[in-house]
Amino acid sequence: MLEIKNLTKVFAKDTVNEHTALDNLSLSLDKGEFVTIVGSNGAGKSTLFNAVCGTFFADSGRITLDGEDITYMPEHKRSKMIGRVFQDPMKGTSPNLTIEENIALAYSRAKHGPLGFALNRRDMALFREALSDFDMGLENRMKTKVGLLSGGQRQVVTLLMCTIVPPKLLLLDEHTAALDPATSGKIMDITNNIVNKNALTTLMITHNINSALKTGTRTIMMDSGRIILDISGDERGKMSLNELLELYSQRSNKVFDNDRMLLGDN
């Protein structure tokens, strides 16, 4: 489904600030696979997402999605195939538009393109039904401006906007990191339900290593723009937090250091 081959991205090339953000990185995901990504600050996690989304073009390498080469496809065209939820609940929605209007825009763009906007009562009923599945009462607040919602409620709206028309690839960029533990757990439950219901191919960056080992089907660890660990199956199921950190130290020759990383269950 997703095939990344020898992807390299260097920022500020040929200057004193030159930085290799992606270093000949390769990654392959099967259809319906849910992969969690962990790594210290500056490991290249969000840079990888930006490259996949088309925020910038890589210096070399190739990205293929569902058999189509998207390496040099413009970002706005990729957005019809790729859904992305950011850490910041303020991103991904228009605060001055209502819940209904935000979802309608996302639905219309995915179904008809940026110039299409033709919705009917059946579409609105679809939005209401989808929101009711989340058990947060948002289906009764369709006329509420998104800017008046809590962070968790906004993330739910963003999740629905990204998946109301199931994308070929869903990218979750630390989408629970800015939320309190209780809300974070609720959003993860909703996320898992959406991913499982639609069998979505998913990449999730997380700040919680325990969550990374328990969520999805596979975990990769990045360091200095490279994938240094890729585990799944029984190996992943039996791996403890300490064992994962020890493997990181062995592969990277340094101690894991991230002041935002949560090592516990919350």
Q: Which of 182, 205, 197, 208 is nearest to 86 (CA)?
A: 205
Residue 265: predicted pLDDT: 47
14 or 114: which leads in pLDDT: 14
Q: What's the pLDDT band for 41 if we cut at 50, 70, 90? A: confident
b/e per residue 238-261 (b: at least 16 CB within 10 A): ebeeeebeeebeeebeeebeeeeb
Q: Distance between CA 243 and CA 227 in Å, rounded? A: 17
CA 116 to chain centre: 26
Q: What's the pLDDT band for 245 if we cut at 50, 70, 90? A: confident
Q: Distance between CA 143 and CA 99 in Å, rounded? A: 6
pLDDT at 228 over 80: yes
Residue 94: predicted pLDDT: 92
Average pLDDT over residues 173-180: 92
The rounded mean pLDDT for the chain is: 90
Length of the chain: 266
120-154: per-residue pLDDT in tens? Answer: 788 889 999 999 988 899 999 999 999 999 999 99
Average pLDDT over residues 184-204: 94
Residue 112: predicted pLDDT: 61
Q: Distance between CA 182 and CA 5 in Å, rounded? A: 38
Q: Distance between CA 249 and CA 72 in Å, rounded? A: 35
Q: What's the pLDDT band for 259 if we cut at 50, 70, 90? A: very low
Q: Distance between CA 111 and CA 123 in Å, rounded? A: 11
Q: Distance between CA 86 and CA 172 in Å, rounded? A: 6
Residue 266: predicted pLDDT: 43
- Phi and psi of 143, rounded to 5°? -95, 5
Q: Distance between CA 176 and CA 155 in Å, rounded? A: 8
Residue 119: predicted pLDDT: 61
Contact 33, 42 (CB under 8 A): no
Query: What are the domain boundaries of the chain?
Result: 1-81+167-177+199-266, 88-165
Residue 258: predicted pLDDT: 55
> CATH says 1-81+167-177+199-266 is which class?
alpha beta
Tokens of 156: 């739910």
The residue type found at 219 is T
Q: What's the pLDDT band for 240 if we cut at 50, 70, 90? A: confident
Residue 264: predicted pLDDT: 52
- Least-confidence region, from 54-58, 114-118, 138-142, 182-186: 114-118
Tokens of 151: 């962070």
DSSP 75-91: HHHHTTTEEEE-SSTTT
Tokens of 240: 């403890």
66-116: per-residue pLDDT in tens? Answer: 999 999 999 999 998 999 999 998 888 999 999 999 998 888 877 765 544
